[in-house]
Amino acid sequence: MTRIMVVAMAAALALGAQTREVAITIDDLPQGGGDHGALGVAGVRDMTRKLLAPLRGIPVIGFVNACRASDLGEAALDGILRMWVASGADLGNHTCSHPDLNTTPLAEYTADLERGEPAVTRALGHRPVYFRHPFLHAGPDAAKREGLSRYLAAHGYTVAPVTLDNSDWMFAAIYADALARKDAATAEKVRQGYVPYMESIFAFFEARGREVAGHDFPQILLIHASRLNADMIPDLLAMMRRRGYRFVSLGEALKDEAYRLPEDYTGKGGFSWIHRWSKTMGMKPKGEPDEPAWVTEAYGKLGR
Q: Which is nearer to Zn ion, 136 or 248 (CB)?
A: 136
Amino acid at site 165: D
From candidates 22, 26, 28, 178, binder to Zn ion by CB under 5 A = 28
Q: In terms of CB distance, is 92 or 134 closer to Zn ion?
A: 134
Length of the chain: 304
Task: Please state the closest distance from residue 89 (CB atom) to Zn ion, in A.
Answer: 16
Residue 288 touches Zn ion, criterion: CB under 5 A: no
Residue nearest to Zn ion (CB): 27
Site map (CB under 5 A) of Zn ion, residues 103-142, x = contact: -------------------------------x--------
CB of 64 to Zn ion, least distance (A): 10
Q: Does 27 bind Zn ion (CB under 5 A)?
A: yes
Site for Zn ion in 142-201 (CB under 5 A): none
Q: Which helix (H) or strand (E) holds 64?
A: strand 60-64
DSSP states of 143-180: HHHHHHHHHHHHTT-EE---SB---HHHHHHHHHHHHH
Contact stretch for Zn ion (CB under 5 A) within 16-24, 28-36, 162-170, 289-297: 28-36
Distance CA(148)–CA(138), nearest Å, equals 8
* Residue 231 binds to Zn ion (criterion: CB under 5 A): no
Pick the stretch among 21-29, 81-89, 118-126, 138-146 that binds Zn ion (CB under 5 A): 21-29
Give the integer Cα–Cα distance in Å for 148 and 104.
12
Residue 106's alpha-carbon distances to 92, 102, 115, 142, 154, in angstroms, are: 20, 9, 14, 12, 15
**C-alpha distance from residue 303 to each of 132, 170, 292, 297 (Å):** 26, 12, 18, 10
State the amino acid at position 63 in one-letter form.
F
Supply the minimum distance, in Å, between the C-beta of residue 3 and Zn ion. Answer: 48
Give 54 or 270: the residue with its C-beta nearer to Zn ion.
Answer: 270
Q: Which residues bind Zn ion (CB under 5 A)?
A: 27-28, 134
